[in-house]
Amino acid sequence: MRIAAGVDVGSTQTKAVIMSDNGGLNIVARALMDTGANVQRAAERAFDTCCQQADLHSGDVGFVVGTGYGRYKIAFGNTQMTEITCHAKGASFLCPGTRTVIDMGGQDSKAISIGADGEVLDFVMNDKCAAGTGRFLANAAEVMGISLDEIGPLSLQAKHPVKIATVCTVFVESDILSYLAQGKSGEDILGGVHTAIAKRTLSLARRLNIEPEITMTGGVARNVGMVHALEEVIGRKMLVSPDAQFIGAVGAALFALEKLGQSFEFGIWRGDHATSGGH
């Protein structure tokens, strides 16, 4: 049995996944925690938590691939890969029909075109500002005085969503406060916030050829209001895996398993069963 791990160190949260190929490909453990100021420590804690869940020692894990913005801080990792490559790989594994990936994280957003076996064909990203990201939503929630977990469900209750003039994280506060002063409901304001982000994301994704099967990845995929808003503006159903937030780590773990001598394509494991190159 081969055991490998992927660790995705994001700007906001760090995710780790341990996978095995024991009689088929399986996710045997997953961990999620805030990244905080100490990136290296967050990676170590996430990996250690996974090992504990799986009742494994760190030495039992044959290969570790790091990804995400903090991937070079994963001291125990064997190699690093970009989050774009790992999200494409992970999305293809969890949602095999996927040809377009929309990744919305804490500080940036990406649209990725992928092939049948999860290879990246093209991508675009917004990493110049926090517009259309989890940070934007967090700021909106803070101004409204509600938790981040509440804003998605509340936005679904909007009857007359307001028009948000800007998707700039710095200026959204003034927009929201202005609408509150006008007596607009929190639901309608949040409906407008989610629609504004969805339109911004569509504008980004249109720079690619948007294929019918679209998978949403990243922490914002847990926001039901954001998923709904994207479906409304794109006009297509979004595929959202229960492991959407872990997809980058899943992709990294898949690459780690390949490093151990196997490859994965079209949902079938095949390879030469080469000798493990673990640490």
Each residue of 27-45: pLDDT tens digit?
Answer: 999 999 999 999 999 999 9
147 within some domain: yes
Distance from C-alpha of 225 to C-alpha of 235, rounded to nearest angstrom: 15
Distance from C-alpha of 127 to C-alpha of 135, rounded to nearest angstrom: 12
Give which of 254, 256, 255, 249 is closest to 68, Cα–Cα. Answer: 249
Report percent pLDDT > 90 for the chain.
Answer: 73
Per-residue model confidence (pLDDT) at position 268: 40
Give which of 120, 127, 100, 121 is closest to 111, Cα–Cα. Answer: 100
User: What are the tens digits of pLDDT across the range 234-260?
Assistant: 999 999 999 999 999 999 999 999 998
pLDDT tier, 273 (very low <50, low <70, confident <90, very high otherwise): very low
141 within some domain: yes
CB 143 within 8 A of CB 172: yes
Count of structural domains within the chain: 2
C-alpha torsion sign, points 116, 117, 121, 124: positive
Q: Which residues are CB-contacts of 97 (< 8 A; sequence separation ≥ 6)?
A: 213, 239
pLDDT for 265 beyond 90: no
Distance from C-alpha of 128 to C-alpha of 174, rounded to nearest angstrom: 21
Instruction: Tell me the one-letter amino acid at 102.
Output: I
Tokens of 79: 């190699």
* Mean pLDDT of the residues in the chain: 89
CB 73 within 8 A of CB 45: no
Per-residue model confidence (pLDDT) at position 237: 94
User: What are the tens digits of pLDDT across the range 131-183?
Assistant: 667 888 988 999 999 999 999 999 999 999 999 877 776 778 888 999 999 99
For position 126, which CATH number holds?
3.30.420.40
Task: Give yes or no: residues 36 and 69 share one domain.
Answer: yes
Task: Give yes or no: residues 62 and 131 share one domain.
Answer: no
Tokens of 201: 């994301």
Task: Give yes or no: residues 166 and 43 share one domain.
Answer: no
Residue 158 is given by DSSP the state -
pLDDT tier, 267 (very low <50, low <70, confident <90, very high otherwise): very low
CB 113 within 8 A of CB 123: yes
Task: Give yes or no: residues 65 and 191 share one domain.
Answer: no
pLDDT tier, 81 (very low <50, low <70, confident <90, very high otherwise): very high
Backbone torsions φ then ψ of 62, nearest 5 degrees: -70, -25
User: What are the tens digits of pLDDT across the range 103-143?
Assistant: 998 878 899 999 999 999 999 998 666 566 788 898 899 99
User: What are the tens digits of pLDDT across the range 183-215?
Assistant: 999 999 999 999 999 998 998 999 998 988 999
pLDDT tier, 270 (very low <50, low <70, confident <90, very high otherwise): very low
Give which of 126, 128, 127, 154 is closest to 141, Cα–Cα. Answer: 154
- List the domain range (segments joined by +) for residue 43: 3-91+245-271
pTM for the full model? 0.88
